[in-house]
Structure 1
Amino acid sequence: MADVFGMAIKDYQSGHYTEDIKTYSSLDEEDVIPIPYLFRGFKEMPVIEQKALKLAKGKVLDIGAGAGSHALYLQNKGFEVTALDNSEGCVDVCKERGLTSVVLNTILDYSEERYDTLLLLMNGIGLAGKLNNLSPFLQHLASLLQPNGQVLLDSSDIIYMFEQDEDGGYWIPNDGSYYGEVSFEMEYKGVKSAPFDWVYVDFNTLQNACDSNGFNCELVISGEHYDYLAKLTLKK
């Protein structure tokens, strides 16, 4: 499978930035991921990400680290942080940018250590892919946590992307699937990724899933556009 994300990030890191990543989704929307944004410093990060980084404690695993910007910030603050990504290109760039602990793997295949903080930023919970994968995904996260550990994740309720009727209700396709499930493809310099599943989870749905999988789920802050930061801790 083409490492589209890794190719783009490596180009930017080596000074060959000429275009952004195009994304195509089952929501019929074509969009772009601006590559410079993936290299942002703390001041350029959204408030939700800044808050998550301020709440980080102890030994940290940055899941889906990308170009490593979150992990780098924490490492520079003195944290013991590991950047995890399943993209070879991303892992190479994380190392080039000075991260000392970088792992090439998918989160579901990773079980090496336990952490005080698991970071899932930029809708990292989307890695679960589908709503019915959320329970096993959360159970796996639990297995990576120290007893007093925490998961810090952000996501969005994408209900706003559906048409609203006059009484304020939303027209959601009744095909049996959860409305936050999206299929994506990415394209960079003419190279397309294989389609992959991604899920945006509204807070109530996340809370219910956490409750049935041994987590407390706290809403830390809401963003300006249906997005939020949640803190998950293991029930005693």
Structure 2
Amino acid sequence: MLAVLIVEDDPMVAELNRRYLEQLEGYRLAGIASNGEAALRLLRQTAVDVVLLDVFMPGMNGLELLRAIRQAQHGVDVILVTAAHDVATVEQALRQGVVDYLIKPFEFTRFQTALLNYSRRRKSISEQQSFCQQDLDKQFFTPQRSGEAAALPKGLDRNTIRTIWEQIVRIKREFSADEIAGIVGLSQVSMRKYLKYLQGLELISAEVSYGAVGRPLYKYRCINKQANMF
């Protein structure tokens, strides 16, 4: 399992990231640090594969911690999870080799995509003794098209996704999870999981409204009918 260190000074956000991580197979929490100094201590004491790193923290900020991690040669990968979206921060993060960049607030599907892509990358590297140019281009340096997934999340079936997608592309209007669930023959709970996955691939969009009793009502719309990954 891949060990994940969460570095976040806001306890509520740290807890949310922890809960998101628990929903993904193949990962374990190595620890939670609320500041840069605590993170460096944990990195010295604990085996960590990837760090989920905030930028805005008291004392040592995230970019300073990122530089310290590189200087200490800890050999970990870093995913920035932050509200910082200015060009200077993004540029510095990329120069320091972050493998992904999540801007708060984000949905679970984007968090999931980041970790799944990271897991795929690690697996690809570990299975090779050497690379040819074609392998490198295919696995790392060719931009991923919208709708192209590295791996399916736990509990989802590719044939079911294909069936759902075939129904969605035929609809020329907004639709609900209940509507597609009735056509395909899935429970509403299962259908919502598949629709969240398709959202993460940027194939459908969702808008939420609230009924009289305050329950969220989601309406979906296909935004990329040309995708043919399924």
Q: TM-score, normalised by structure 2?
A: 0.26
Considering only CA atoms, is the larger Rg found in Structure 1 or Structure 2?
2
Higher share of residues assigned strand: 1
If asked which structure has higher relative contact order (CA below 8 Å, sep 6+), I would say 1
More helix by share: 2
